[in-house]
Structure 1
Amino acid sequence: MRRRGPALEPLLLSDEERATLTRWARRASSAQALALRARIVLACDGPDVPSIVGVARELGITADTVRKWRRRFLAERLDGLVDEPRPGRPPTIAVDEIEAVVVATLEEIPKNATHWSRSSMAARSGLSKSTVGRIWRKFQLKPHLVGTFKLSTDPLFIEKVHDVIGLYFDPPEGAVVLSVDEKSQIQALDRSQPVLPMMPGMPERRTHDYVRNGLTTLFAAFDTSSGKVITSLHRRHRAAEFKKFLVKIDREVPDGLDIHLICDNYGTHKTPAIRAWLAQHPRFHMHFTPTGSSWINQVERWFGFLTDQMIRRGAHKNVQALERDIRAWIKNWNEDPKPFTWTKTADEILDSLARFCRRISGAGH
C-alpha cells in the first residue's frame, strides 16, 4: 500500500501577495531564481492544496525544490523567497553605482571620444576597469561594437516585398525565376611583393599595399530553384551591357518558359532602350525589389560566396587573369549548384521590421 505523508498545510495568498508574486514572475528585470520561486508559490496557492509532485511536473523542476520554497514561504511569507545572506565579504558596489554606469553607457558620450571604453568609464564612475567590464557583460553592453542598418523609404515597399517573396515561395508554373544584379568595379589587385604561403604555425602573409590593374563588372542571373547561374563579364556598366546580358539570358533559357527577373532599381534596368527590348520579348517579366533592400535579392548572397572564396584574397596582374579566375569559379559552381532556402514569409519580414521600428523610434531624436 502506498505510504502517505502528513497532510500539507494550505497555502493561501492575500491579494497583495498574489499581485507582488505575479509581478516578480513576469517582470523582465527579476532574477531568474526569484521568478521561479514566485511561480512555485503561485502554483501552490489555493485551499485545495495542489500536489507537490504535480506542481513540480508543471514547472519542470524537482519536488524537493517545490517543497523547500513552499515551506519557506509559509514560514516567512514574501521575505522568505529572497536569497539568504551568503558567507564571505559582502558586495562593495551599490546598486546605484551599477545603475549609473548602465545609464551613462546608454545615454552619454565621453568628451574626447565617440564611445566609452573601460578606461574612460572607470575614470568617470570611480570604479575599476574590471568592474566596469563585469557590469557591461551582465547587461550585454558593447560600446566598442557598432552595427549598420538602413530602412527603405520606398512608398511601394510592402507591395514589392509581397511580390518578390511570393516568387520565392510560389514560383509560377512554366517559368523560371532569376535573381539578377551586377557586381560592378571588381578590381584586379596584385600585391606589391609576392605572397608568402601558409606554413605550420604561420598563416599566409601578404603585403598591406597593392597595385590596381583594372576593373571588370560581373552580370549574374541566379536561378532560385536550381541554383545555376547565367553570367556575363563586361568592362563597362551601362544599359547597353545590361541589354546584352538580357539577350544572353533569352538565348540560354529554353523556349516556352516565361522568365521572371528580380532586379534592383538601378537606372540601367529602366532606360527607354531596355523597356523597348522588354516590350519585344513578352516572356520577360520584371520584378523590382524595394529601394535600399538588396538583402531581398538572392543573387547578392551568391556574390558573397564569390567574394569570400575567390575575389577577396585573389592576386591578379591584369583584368584578363581576374576574369579567367571568375569564369573558372562560376564553371565549378554550376557543376554542383546549390539553391538557397528562403524561410521567412513576407508577413514575417514586415512584422520583424515593424518591431525594429518600434524599438528605434525616437532613438536618434
Structure 2
Amino acid sequence: MVHSVTEIRRPVRRRLKRIVQKSPDKEHARRALAILQLYALRGCVTAAAAAVCAARSSVQRWRSLYESYGEDGLVPQPKGRTDWKASAAVWSALRQLLAGTPRDHGYLRSRWSSELLAVVLHRQSGLHVHATTVRRWLQRLHYGWRRARPTLCIRDPRKLQRMQAIAAALADSTPGTEVFYEDEVDIHLNPKLGHGWMPRGQQTAVPTPGQNRKAYLAGALHAHTGRVITVAGERKDSLLFIHLLYQLKRTYRAARRIVLILDNYKVHDSVLTRRWLARNPKFQFVFQPAYHPWVNRIERLWKQLHDTVTRNHRYPTLPALMTAVRRFLRVCQPFPGAQPGLATAA
C-alpha cells in the first residue's frame, strides 16, 4: 500500500477539496469526496458510503485505487471500449496523408474524403477501419471540414523593396507629411449574400432588384488619425481617382507632402493621373506589392462597409443604398475605433 486514506497529508487534502469544489467532472469530484470522508471517518467504508450516497463496493474500489496509485487513481477512465486501433503510428500516417492530396497516391480526387482515407490506410497498413471511425479520429486530431483559401504562386520580385518603402513612409514623422491608404470599392444594388441568423433548415429570402446597378467609391484612410475621405462616382476611372486627390488637396491645404499607399490598379498610373500629378508635386505614391491586398488597411474598412450595409441589404434603389453607405462613412470615423455596426440608420 503506497498511500493510506487515514494518513493524508495536508497539501493532498487541499488538492482533493479543490477537486470537489471546482472539477467539472462529477464522478471525479465524488471520488475525491469519498476519500476525504474516509480520512475524516478513520477509514470507515460504511459511513463514507452513506455520506457520499454510494455503494460500499464503489467506495472500497475508489479506496483501492487511491492506495495503489494516489491522486491519479481517482481520475475516471473513459467509458466504452478502448479504441485500440487509434495508435500513434496510425495517427502519424493519417497526418502524412492529409499533408498531401489523393493525386499523390494515384487517385482522381483532388481532396481527401473519409472513405478514401480509410481505403489508403488499409492499403498502407492493412488496417480495416470505417469512414466514420476516420472522421472521429480527424476530430480528435483537431482537423475540421473547412473551406480552403486561394493563394497565388506568382511572386512580386519588388516585394521587399516596396515593403521597405511602405514602412519608411509610415515611420516618417516630418511635419507637414500626411500618409494615407487609398483604394476603390464597388457598391452593387444586387445585395452581397452572407451569413445571418435563421431557423435551422431554412434560408432567409433576400429580395433582389434583378437588374444590377453600380456605384463606385474612392477612399483614403489616414494612417495615423483614422480619418476617412471618400468620393463617389458612376465609373471607376481616372476621373474618380483624381477627384479624390483633389479632395485630399483641399482638406489638407497646409500639408507639404501627401503620401498615398495604394495598389497597382491602372487608374493610379494613367496618362490623366500623371498629368494631374505633374501639376501637383506634393503628392507621392508608394505602391504595394502585387497580389498583397492585406497590406492596404483600407481593405478592412471596405469589409466593414459590406458587413454593415451591403450584405443581405433590402434597399430597393441605388440612391437609398448610397444614403446608407454615406451614413456608414460618417459614423465609422476614426477607423478603426468607432463601432459603425451599432449605429442607427439616421
TM-score bracket, shorter-length normalisation: 0.5 to 0.7
Partner of 2:152: 150
Task: Please list every run of 5 or more consecutive structure 2 residues that lacks an aligned counterpart in the other structure.
Answer: 1-80, 123-127, 338-346
Partner of 2:252: 253
- Equivalents in 1 of 2:281, 2:212: separation in Å? 41
Separation in structure 2 between the aligned mates of residue 180 and residue 93 of structure 1, nearest angstrom? 53
Q: CA 1:270–1:190 in structure 2 vs 1: closer, same or farther (change >3 Å)?
A: closer
Q: Please say if residues 189 and 209 of structure 2, whose CA atoms lie closer than 8 Å, have aligned partners that are also in contact.
A: no
Which amino acid is the alignment partner of residue 105 of structure 1?
L
Q: AA paired with 2:117?
A: M
The within-5 A match list for 1:341-356 is: none
Q: Does 2:265 align with 1:266?
A: yes
How far is 1:250 from its partner? Answer: 1.0
2:98 alignment partner in structure 1: 105
Match of 2:115 among 114, 119, 129: 119
C-alpha contact 2:232 2:240 (8 A) present in aligned 1: no
Please point out which of 141, 159, 162 is paired with 2:161. 159
8 Å contact from structure 2 (residues 189, 318) kept in 1: yes
- Scaled by the length of structure 2, the TM-score of the pair is 0.62
Change (3 A) 1:275 1:131: same
Q: How many residues align?
A: 247
Give the letter for the 1:122 counterpart.
A
Alpha-carbon distance, 1:233 to partner: 0.8
Cα displacement string for residues 172-210 of structure 1 (whole angstroms, at most 9, x for unaligned residues): 4321111111013x211269xxxxx98999999324866
**Displacement of 1:241:** 1.9
Give RMSD over aligned pairs. 3.4
Report if aligned partners of 1:213, 1:318 keep a CA contact under 8 Å in 2.
no
8 Å CA contact retained: 2:261, 2:287: yes
The share of aligned pairs that are identical, in percent, is 22
Which of 167, 170, 180 is the matching residue for 2:182?
Answer: 180
Give TM-score scaled by structure 1 length: 0.59
CA apart distance, 1:120: 3.4
Shift of 1:339: 4.3
8 Å CA contact 2:190, 2:208 repeated in 1: no
1:28-47, Cα deviation, whole Å (9 max, x unpaired): xxxxxxxxxxxxxxxxxxxx
What SS is found at the alignment partner of 1:262?
strand
Q: How far did 1:322 drift?
A: 1.7
Shift of 1:270: 0.5
Rounded Cα–Cα distance in structure 2 between residues aligned with 1:281 and 1:93: 69
1:228-243 superposed matches below 5 A: 228-243=227-242
SS of the residue corresponding to residue 162 of structure 2 reads helix
The answer to whether the Cα contact below 8 Å between 2:102 and 2:112 also exists between their aligned partners in 1 is yes
Structure 1, unpaired ranges of 5+: 1-87, 192-196, 341-365
Equivalent residues in 2 for 1:184-333 (5 A)?
184=186, 186-189=187-190, 205-207=204-206, 211-333=210-332
